[in-house]
Amino acid sequence: MLFPSNLGVLVMGKRVVIALGGNAIKQPEEEGTVEEQLRNVDTACAQIASIVRKGYDIVVTHGNGPQVGNLAIQQEQSKEIVPPQPLVILGAMTQGQIGYMIQQSLRNQLRGLNKNVVTIITQVLVDKNDPDFLDPHKPVGPFYTEEEAEKLIAEKGWTIRKVRNHDERPWRRVVPSPEPLDIVEGKIVKHLVDLGSIVIASGGGGIPVVLDENGDLRGVDAVIDKDKAGEVLAEAVEADIFLILTDVDCVKLNLGKPDEKNLRELRSFMARAYLKEGHFPPGSMGPKVEACIRFVEHGGEKAIITSLDKGLEALEGKVGTVITGS
């Protein structure tokens, strides 16, 4: 996007893909009511709006875990009344739900700035032969008793595993989490950003799709890591910066230990070494760091990880962890 500098000359703004963590929509201690979610989204969008006002071109992606989980429970509870929908449809539904909240909030907060805000329901291509389809591990939806689990395995062919002990309902469905390969609507998203629009895309990691034997797209029940999908989105729109907003102000070594250390600047080869040494857990910081490494190694200028309320400060180099290429 072109915007006026202090000298009145038109200059090109940096393009940033912002990946919002789950705390941007629902806090862990909250029930997830509409009022709570809208309040959280307004807080997140205030931060995004401050970045837009500095002249950055913005693409937003987000998580959807709690929302999909709640919808899955609703499907189970109402299955005798209305036909339950598969996981892939629930992902599409939550893209619309959360996209609506973010685009409305951003439009309100950017009133007078003449910025269009739009949500793109986004499909993300995965490999039908991805090994995770043979050994799924991503828990989704409600917990079940052993009897309920056995019935669902027999009736639906789900993969259900025991994910916790000493509980009446320790069983939970697990689904594949394949690697994202391409953003199906990537060219459309980039075109809209080139025109100056703020685009919300690839929510929840995107709707996972594969190519069938006829070359047609087909949705599959899976969950793509949202940060890895966000990185593929960042490549598709030719972003300069990949900004992950989460619940910590920077990446840390030896988290929670006496020798805990903040990492402010990392070259990609060092980040990869720390990742291999197991410093970043696979269920939390690991995928974020891996996504950042991929982005800079594929030509991105830099990737940043910081907390939700410090996005602009991180872009200005004041806080956060900055990962650059080797």
Task: Supply the pLDDT for residue 14.
Answer: 94
| More confident call, 1 vs 214 | 214
* 160 and 230 housed in the same domain: no
Task: Supply the pLDDT for residue 226.
Answer: 95
pLDDT tens by residue, 94-147: 999 999 999 999 999 999 898 999 999 999 999 999 999 999 988 887 888 999
Is the pLDDT at 203 greater than 50, yes or no? yes
Q: Checking phi first, is residue 79 left (phi over 0); if not, alpha (psi -120 to 50) or beta?
A: alpha
Averaged pLDDT, 82-97: 95
What domain range includes position 70?
2-129+182-324
| More confident call, 245 vs 2 | 245
pTM over 0.85: yes
Q: Does the annotation mark 226 as catalytic?
A: yes
* 18 and 145 housed in the same domain: no
Q: Does the annotation mark 23 as catalytic?
A: yes
* 100 and 153 housed in the same domain: no
* 200 and 259 housed in the same domain: yes
Lowest mean pLDDT segment, chosen from 14-23, 177-186, 198-207: 14-23
Task: Supply the pLDDT for residue 257.
Answer: 83
* 224 and 100 housed in the same domain: yes
Averaged pLDDT, 29-49: 94
Task: Supply the pLDDT for residue 272.
Answer: 95
| From 21, 22, 63, 205, active-site residue | 22
* 191 and 164 housed in the same domain: no
| Both structure tokens of 211 | 């190519």
* 154 and 170 housed in the same domain: yes
Task: Supply the pLDDT for residue 12.
Answer: 55
Question: CATH number, domain at 201?
Answer: 3.40.1160.10
User: How many angstroms separate the first and last alpha carbons of the chain?
Assistant: 29
Is the pLDDT at 58 greater than 90, yes or no? yes
Domain boundary among 175, 199, 232: 175
* 105 and 143 housed in the same domain: no
Task: Supply the pLDDT for residue 6.
Answer: 37
Is the pLDDT at 286 greater than 50, yes or no? yes
| From 138, 219, 286, 325, active-site residue | 138
| Both structure tokens of 206 | 């995107």
* 147 and 243 housed in the same domain: no
Q: Does the annotation mark 79 as catalytic?
A: no
Q: Checking phi first, is residue 268 left (phi over 0); if not, alpha (psi -120 to 50) or beta?
A: alpha
Is the pLDDT at 5 greater than 70, yes or no? no
Averaged pLDDT, 179-194: 97
Averaged pLDDT, 177-206: 97
Distance of CA 135 to the CA centre of its chain: 22
| From 26, 190, 228, 288, active-site residue | 288
* 71 and 22 housed in the same domain: yes
Q: Does the annotation mark 214 as catalytic?
A: no
Q: What is the DSSP letter of 319?
A: S
* 149 and 233 housed in the same domain: no
Task: Supply the pLDDT for residue 29.
Answer: 86
Mean pLDDT for the chain? 91
| From 226, 228, 302, 310, active-site residue | 226
pLDDT tens by residue, 217-271: 999 999 999 999 999 999 999 999 999 999 899 999 988 788 889 999 999 999 9
Please report which residue ranges of the chain form alpha helices under DSSP H: 34-53, 65-77, 87-109, 146-156, 186-194, 226-236, 268-276, 285-297, 311-315
Neighbours of 86 (CB within 10 A): 12
Task: Supply the pLDDT for residue 62.
Answer: 96
Give percent above pLDDT 90 in the chain: 73
Give percent above pLDDT 70 in the chain: 96
Task: Supply the pLDDT for residue 2.
Answer: 43
Task: Supply the pLDDT for residue 82.
Answer: 94
**Total domain count, the chain:** 2
* 162 and 220 housed in the same domain: no
Q: Does the annotation mark 108 as catalytic?
A: no
| From 23, 63, 99, 206, active-site residue | 23
Ranked by mean pLDDT, which of 78-82, 215-219, 247-251, 278-282 comes out on top? 215-219
